Amino acid sequence: MNSKNTLKIISSFWNWIFLLVILAFLEIFARTAYETTFLLNPFVIQSVLLFTAAPLLIGIGQTFVIISGGIDLSVAFAMGLASVVFASIIKFFAPEYALIAVVVAFIATSLIMLIPGFINGTLISRLNVPPFIGTLGMYGVARGVGYLTADGMTVPFKNDIVFMIGTGKFFGIPIPVIIALFFVVLAHYLLTYTKFGQHTYALGGNRQAAIRSGINIKKQILLIYMLCSVCAGMAGMIYAARFSAGAPQAGEPLMLDAIAAVFIGGASFFGGSGKIIGTVIGALIIANIQFGIVFIDIKPFWQFVVVGVVIIIAVVVDQSKNKLSGARTDE
């Protein structure tokens, strides 16, 4: 095996290797510093998985967008808006109508979250607005509407069913994690085994070729951005369920994490490649970094530095893969 093939293999699996290195380091640190275990500690496992759930849900939608050659910056406050809408509807109902409140809030919030995606998709597909600019504008709109709806505050509520969903467990697995895993399986099937997934790859790989092959790219872009908004909405509802409150700023710290998870997971910055399982690995890497920094007792602000460095590594790896394969690098 020559060095070029070796580099190809390493660049293809670097995120798996990086995750294993992080886990090995944390396990060694736990055993030497605290004489305990990190990997086999049930509390640690559950905490890391809960850290992963919300950014993973946002990252799932972002995966489709990035594979198609776009970006969605509106997801942060779309998530916050969803949490506020969900909480406001739950709060409207009396406690004895808890189940009805949950059903109505879930359906209404899901439908409302189609709107930001529809607007983003329309701006990008019909008016040829660059994704960065269009979704940045929606970022501001969703932020403002969220704060106006919540009157600039959090929206607390009391609902036993929602509380159980947010804090309960099923066979020891937190319910928010189970919901996230359900979306992972659904998104993986959609991206891998359906025409929608094939068209998403085709759109990001070569837009002109996709048009010539008969793909309705305007419709495809619209559906992709609507899907991304719905995923952000689900993350917002899970946030509200976990904390029994909606907050306009709920998703703000998660936007970078979600986008980073997609790129760390192997999606190309130029579109046309990426996998849901890669986004899962990326989200796990970020969650372990965040929890690990707290675990080893250093200032939590270091997580931003480390995540930024990992994103830079992802850029370098992506460029290296393109050079090794002869793909475009925009040089």
307-328: average pLDDT: 68
Residue 326, pLDDT > 60, answer no
Q: Could you read off the pLDDT of 206-260 as tens digits, one per residue?
A: 999 999 999 999 999 999 999 999 999 999 999 999 999 999 999 888 888 898 8
For residue 17, tell me if it sits in a domain.
Answer: no
For residue 272, tell me if it sits in a domain.
Answer: yes
pLDDT band at 34 (very low <50, low <70, confident <90, very high): confident
11-21: average pLDDT: 79
Q: What is the mean pLDDT of the chain?
A: 88
Return the pLDDT at 253: 82
Q: Could you read off the pLDDT of 100-147 as tens digits, one per residue?
A: 999 999 999 999 999 999 999 999 999 999 999 999 999 999 999 999
Any idea what the CATH number is for the domain that residue 200 is in?
1.10.3470
Return the pLDDT at 331: 45
Q: Could you read off the pLDDT of 158-179 as tens digits, one per residue?
A: 999 999 999 999 888 899 999 9
Return the pLDDT at 2: 58
Residue 41, pLDDT > 80, answer yes
For residue 30, tell me if it sits in a domain.
Answer: no
Residue 22, pLDDT > 80, answer yes
pLDDT band at 306 (very low <50, low <70, confident <90, very high): confident
Q: Pick the closest to residue 270 from 66, 13, 65, 64 (CA basis).
A: 66
Residue 13, pLDDT > 90, answer no
For residue 162, tell me if it sits in a domain.
Answer: yes
Residue 323, pLDDT > 80, answer no
For residue 31, tell me if it sits in a domain.
Answer: no
Distance CA 240, CA 85 (A): 10
pLDDT band at 324 (very low <50, low <70, confident <90, very high): low
User: How many independent structural domains does the chain possess?
Assistant: 1
For residue 292, tell me if it sits in a domain.
Answer: yes
Lowest-confidence range among 245-254, 299-308, 315-324? Answer: 315-324
For residue 12, tell me if it sits in a domain.
Answer: no
Which has more pLDDT, 254 or 60?
60
Return the pLDDT at 9: 64
For residue 25, tell me if it sits in a domain.
Answer: no
Domain that holds residue 208: 43-322
